[in-house]
Amino acid sequence: MSDASTPDSVEPDHEHEHRHEGPGYATPQAAIEEGEREKLAYVMSLYVGTDVDAPDFVSVVDLDPDSDTYCEIVDRIELPNRGDELHHFGWNACSSSCHMEGLERRHLIVPGQRSSRIHVLDAQDRRNPELETVIEPEEVFEYDLSAPHTVHCIPDGEILISMLGDADGELPGGFLELNEDFEIEGRWEPPGEIEMNYDYWYQPRQNVMVSSEWAAPETYYPGFDLEDVEAGNYGQRLHFWDWEAGTVEQTIDLGEEGLIPLEVRFLHTPESTHGFVGAALSSNIFHFWRDESAADGDGAYRAEKVIDFESREHDDWDMPVPALPTDILISMDDRYLFGSNWLHGEVWMYDISDPSNPRRADSLSVGGTFGEVQEVQDRELAAGPQMIQLSLDGERLYWTTSLFSSWDDQFYPEEAERGSVMLKADVDPRKGTMKLDEDFLVDWGECPAGPARAHEIRWPDGDCTSDVWQ
């Protein structure tokens, strides 16, 4: 048994003194108890890879069941250029800044994955955000970086963005830092610390950051090619950083069972060193944790495969179809791990009360290649569950269906013709069950300019995939 199963290793530290004067919540438990039910969602919406010649936009979706516009896109913030490929985004401040008096969770940082253009939206009016400023690609390229991905705020009000390529779309990637006035501060890390980059999460009380690997933009932009896997062009490693120094302290090679480690999450409890990463191509979930007894007592991180989704045979495929778990998240109480198997068409939840031995709690088979539910409200689904977001109280799981435009076109070409959808499951965290809410459907196939794709989801006042605690 590893120390991961030590019950007190994931218990919240209620002894930590909080002087809560800034944005967010003092603790994850406060987010659960004080956070209101989500009434709006911001959703990345894009036309890249479709026949619609229009700029990408940010959708504001009404999630208030008492509203006349429930399940409707009530505002679209159109961006000034075409072809950005909006992907992931984040806030200028979250609960990690809860000690910073005067700082607000007000601005959305919205990068373009393909353009490397970074947009800043003022969301003071939660229902009608406005574009405030744009950092043009040429400004980003000056730091030999491109392809912005994960956006996290830093506790002192600055913003850190993982960048997947250099200025030419090749390796290595790195991290770009913005100051609180949304100006480029520079590269966060000394160049050369890593080759590949993708998602990251930090745990400031443990002085650690973990980052994962996708590939060079020039590799994944055109679509997926098995020859790139055989050539070693996709990642399979985790990097553990000294958070204050910005340097890599340890790298773990996950091997062939850890190919393409994408979304990476620490538990919300700031004392915890436990976390999970989904290896998309290998269709595995790894648990990682700091083993204090390792390395002659100085401690080191370990990683171990704890969930394995088996490939399935399909008449239309000449090889077994991998599950492709492309997104994972941890409930705010750190009890459940949720995820999406985009190709199989499945959303799932595992009880991670013992993080080294996750226990499957429930799943839904919807959309994708094998989903038992292939239409909702007579609307045929064109792809499987992809980006997920959970309510702060853990009782509502939402998801969209677009992964990346060129990958969508390769595996689910009808997504470009029909557009994405947003679906929802009602979750009972006490019983560990989920039920598809067939009364809930948001349809990007009905957008005024034509069908659009929908990707990452955020709540206006914090969520399970963007809030970090000090």
Tens of pLDDT, residue by residue over 415-458, are 999 999 999 999 999 999 999 999 999 999 999 999 999 999 99
What is the residue-averaged pLDDT of the chain?
A: 94
24: pLDDT confidence band, cut at 50, 70 and 90?
confident
Q: What's the pLDDT tens digit per position in 131-167?
A: 999 999 999 999 999 999 999 999 889 999 999 999 9
Mean pLDDT within 288-308 = 90
As given in the structure block, the two tokens for residue 376 are 């909702």
In sequence order, the β-bridge partners of residue 112 are 86
Query: What pLDDT shows up at residue 10?
Result: 42
d(CA 91, CA 124): 12
Question: CB of 180 within 8 A of CB of 92?
Answer: yes
The values of phi and psi at residue 175, to 5°, are -135, 135
Query: What pLDDT shows up at residue 102?
Result: 85
d(CA 300, CA 120): 38
Mean pLDDT within 206-222 = 98
As given in the structure block, the two tokens for residue 440 are 């809930």
Residues in the chain: 470
CA distances from 289 to 12, 210, 408 (A): 16, 11, 33
Query: What pLDDT shows up at residue 21?
Result: 76
Question: CB of 457 within 8 A of CB of 422?
Answer: yes
Q: In a 10 Å sphere around its CB, with 0-12 CB exposed, 13-18 middle and 19+ buried, how is residue 420 labelled?
A: buried
Q: What's the pLDDT tens digit per position in 251-296?
A: 999 999 999 999 999 999 999 999 999 999 999 999 999 998 886 6
In sequence order, the β-bridge partners of residue 264 are 277
Query: What pLDDT shows up at residue 293?
Result: 86
Q: Is 432 left (phi over 0), alpha (psi -120 to 50) or beta?
A: left
170: pLDDT confidence band, cut at 50, 70 and 90?
very high
As given in the structure block, the two tokens for residue 23 are 């944005």
Outline where 104-210 has alpha helix (H): 137-141
Does 47 have pLDDT greater than 70? yes
Q: Residues 342, 355, 197, 332: is their CA dihedral positive or negative? A: positive
Does 177 have pLDDT greater than 50? yes
Does 1 have pLDDT greater than 90? no
Q: What's the pLDDT tens digit per position in 360-407?
A: 999 999 999 999 999 999 999 999 999 999 999 999 999 999 999 999
What percent of the chain has pLDDT above 90? 91
E strand spans, 205-323: 208-211, 237-242, 247-253, 261-266, 275-279, 284-291, 300-308
Q: Which pTM value belongs to this model?
A: 0.95
Beta strands 90-91; 73-78: pairing state: unpaired
Query: What pLDDT shows up at residue 334?
Result: 98
297: pLDDT confidence band, cut at 50, 70 and 90?
confident
Which of 78-92, 171-185, 293-307 has the least mean pLDDT?
293-307
